Amino acid sequence: MSVLVGKKAPLFEADAVINGSEFVEKFSLEQYIGKKHVIFFFYPLDFTFVCPTEIIAFQKKMDEFEKRNVAVVGCSVDSKFSHWSWLNTELKDGGIKGVKFPLVSDLSKTISENFDVLAGEYDYNENGEMVFNGDAVAYRGLFLIDIQGTVRHQLVNDLPLGRSIDEALRMVDALQYFEENGEVCPADWHPGEDAMKATQEGVASYLDTHK
């Protein structure tokens, strides 16, 4: 598994569905560089079980992300038509109707490969034929990308393990606090709590205050 933290997020152009129903060609995260932080997350497949709980949870928190000037973008190996169908299926029928943030189609699996979240890999069999070993879907990867397009946080869960949207917000808050104030954020930090200077004295002062 590659560590992308500190590196530029891989660029791509792909089909996507935005605003719950609109098809877009050549969707790219590049449009946010210089303008917004980005939460870019992968999920395994449309019309599954854990995935809608995460996607709907992100939608419920969209006001919080927008207040922080953060774009939320999802991605799976499904086609844009599958995304559109799922986005237009009622929640009671297993759909995610009402979700408005972009869902990217990684039908070729190259985006998942470039972010190194593909749950398997291509190889050659004894006949020299290319085959795929493993599940040809993405792990539950999440990447926090800053305004310069650099990955500052990544989290990758196995397929059965849903993510915490509140934790994603906390990481946004921590990054933005550091960017604005230059102070680093200790364990379990939340807005309004003390941060600290990245020096030996700063750490000692913080620990002394929070015995």
Catalytic residue flag (residue 185): no
Q: Measured between alpha carbons, how far is residue 156 from residues 58, 150, 170, 188 in Å?
A: 17, 17, 17, 19
Amino acid identity, position 166: D
Relative orientation angle of helices 50-60 and 165-181, to the nearest 10 degrees = 40
Buried b (16+ CB within 10 A) or exposed e, 74-108: bbbbbebebbbebbebeeeeebbeebebbbbbbbe
Q: What is the DSSP string of 57-88?
A: HHHHTHHHHHHTTEEEEEEESS-HHHHHHHHT
d(CA 92, CA 120) in angstroms, rounded, equals: 32
Active-site annotation holder among 38, 51, 103, 185: 51
Looking at the annotation, which residues are catalytic?
Answer: 51
